[in-house]
């Protein structure tokens, strides 16, 4: 049975966790340490994790506070109850928060533009003209599937697995600056979600409240909000 999107599923897709549930690293080909603390609040349950280098004293209090966080109510923009104390405990690190989405079984797929087909990418060299930062081998190491809209045979908009576990994958979307505003991002994201389902994984999508273009993709695809992520670096 395919699991439903949930705070716990997203947590285990985003991060490698150790035996006691502490964050070891992000779950990607070139992992980073991840946030000091993340809280994912759903409609009926919350999930959270603390990075393994946070002191036991601080981690114990974070655990106690997170366990008292209520599930989401009617307002999806309501910050966590204990925000002030989380920041006191962890210092003035960067805070990120925003919604997490599931894909409908009847995913709305935007109509293609003429001569604007979506293709799969399995070689990082194809991305070199319009994108930077891709490392040889990372697609096969966990970024796949990578779906792209190409112009003149070169991808100009891509959706890939930003994080991926054995159960689910989280979308990463990028459109080259000169090609934005043409509806490419929703199309590659829909194609990516279908490709992820095709290999038996659950597609997930999340963003920050400040990221208007990313939120617009979620609206255009009629994605289903299931949680709010709040983290501090």
Cα gap 108→37, rounded to integer Å: 34
Q: Mark whether 158 and 74 lie in a shared domain.
A: no
Q: Mark whether 74 and 152 lie in a shared domain.
A: no
CA atoms in the 13 A half-sphere facing the CB of 71: 8
Angle at which helix 56-67 crosses helix 83-90, to 10 degrees, equals 170
Q: What is the CATH number of the domain that holds 158?
A: 3.40.630.30
The model's pTM? 0.93
Final residue belonging to a domain, choices 43, 71, 100: 100
Q: What are the two backbone dihedrals, phi and then psi, of residue 17, each rounded to the nearest 5 degrees?
A: -110, 145
Structure tokens at 84: 């002030």
List, for residues 5-15, the tens digit of each pLDDT value: 999 999 999 99
Q: Strands, E, within 103-142: which ranges?
A: 118-120
> Residue 80: which domain range?
7-100
Question: 108 lies in a domain?
Answer: no
Q: Mark whether 16 and 92 lie in a shared domain.
A: yes
pLDDT of residue 128: 95
Tell me what percent of the residues of the chain surpass a pLDDT of 70. 95
List, for residues 16-73, the tens digit of each pLDDT value: 999 999 999 999 999 999 999 999 999 999 999 999 999 999 999 999 999 999 988 7
Question: 198 lies in a domain?
Answer: yes
Confidence band for 114, pLDDT divided at 50, 70 and 90: very low
pLDDT of residue 75: 78
Q: Mark whether 124 and 220 lie in a shared domain.
A: yes
Final residue belonging to a domain, choices 100, 126, 150: 100
Residue 199: how many other CB atoms lie within 10 Å? 9
Report CA Rg, the chain. Answer: 18
Question: 231 lies in a domain?
Answer: no
Instruction: For residue 175, give the nearest of 164, 188, 191 by alpha carbon.
Output: 188
CB 39 within 8 A of CB 48: yes
Residue 157 has pLDDT above 50, yes or no: yes
Question: 125 lies in a domain?
Answer: yes
> What is the helix (H) or strand (E) element at residue 155, kind and residue range?
strand 154-164
> Can you tell me which residue has the tokens 């095709």?
198
| Number of independent structural domains in the chain | 2
Question: 154 lies in a domain?
Answer: yes
pLDDT of residue 116: 59
């Amino acid at each position: 049975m395919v699991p439903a999107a949930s705070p716990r599923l997203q947590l285990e897709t985003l991060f490698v966790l150790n035996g006691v549930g502490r964050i070891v690293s992000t779950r990607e080909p070139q992992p980073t340490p991840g946030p000091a603390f993340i809280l994912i609040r759903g409609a009926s349950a919350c999930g959270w994790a603390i990075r393994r280098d946070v002191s036991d004293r601080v981690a114990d209090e974070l655990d106690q506070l997170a366990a008292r966080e209520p599930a989401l109510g009617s307002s999806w923009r309501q910050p966590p109850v204990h925000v002030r104390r989380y920041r006191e405990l962890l210092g003035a690190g960067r805070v990120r928060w925003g919604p997490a989405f599931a894909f409908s079984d009847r995913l709305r797929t935007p109509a293609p533009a003429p001569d604007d087909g979506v293709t799969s990418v399995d070689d990082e060299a194809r991305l070199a003209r319009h994108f930077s930062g891709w490392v040889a081998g990372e697609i096969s190491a966990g970024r796949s599937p990578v779906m792209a809209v190409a112009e003149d045979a070169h991808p100009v908009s891509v959706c890939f697995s930003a994080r991926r576990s054995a159960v689910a994958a989280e979308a990463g979307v990028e459109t080259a600056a000169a090609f934005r505003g043409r509806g490419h991002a929703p199309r590659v994201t829909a194609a990516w979600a279908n490709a992820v389902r095709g290999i038996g994984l659950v597609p997930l999508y999340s963003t920050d409240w400040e990221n208007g273009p990313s939120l617009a993709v979620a609206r255009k695809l009629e994605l289903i909000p299931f949680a709010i992520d709040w983290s501090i670096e």
